[in-house]
Amino acid sequence: MNNNNFKIILLIMIMPLSCLSSDFEQGKKLYLNQGCYGCHGYNGTGRYPLAGDVSGIMTNKDLFITFLRLRADINPINPSNSMPNYSKSMIDDNEAELLYDYINTFEDNSLKLEDIPVLKEILESATRKNNEKNN
């Protein structure tokens, strides 16, 4: 194989990775700039979780985008305690897809309460005190 063919093959192999990285960064930027982390957390495990399979709106891209658009048609301009409106003028379909893809990278790696040493100690202490009180 000559040197030019090797360069072309290398370019073809590397290019998709750089595109994915760019899409990931664009999705992340949208997530942060739109303030999604305020309710959904930085890793999708916030007050309204998106990580894992807990949210029905993350079933597929079309459903996610439809949810964003319908909210824009139904919700008031300044909602008091719900997700903001996202019309096409705020987030176009391509940006919504990037946002969806970024959110889909989230994993719920939250620790179980019993795996957190301080909380485990508190639970054990409370159980001991409760048992002593009942005896």
Q: What confidence tens digit (pLDDT) does each residue in 10-33 have? A: 445 544 444 456 889 999 999 999
Query: Which single residue is written with the structure tokens 């019993």?
Result: 114
d(C-alpha 87, C-alpha 96), whole Å: 10
Write out the CATH class of domain 23-134: mainly alpha
How far is it, in rounded angstroms, from Cα 68 to Cα 111? 30
Confidence of residue 80 (pLDDT cuts 50, 70, 90): low
Summarize the confidence of residues 97-109 as an average pLDDT: 91
Task: Find where tokens 């939250």 sit.
Answer: 110
State the average pLDDT over residues 95-111: 90
Note the pLDDT of residue 13.
52
Q: What is the mean pLDDT of residues 41-65?
A: 87
Per-residue confidence (pLDDT) for residue 18, from 0 to 100: 44
Domain ranges of the chain: 23-134
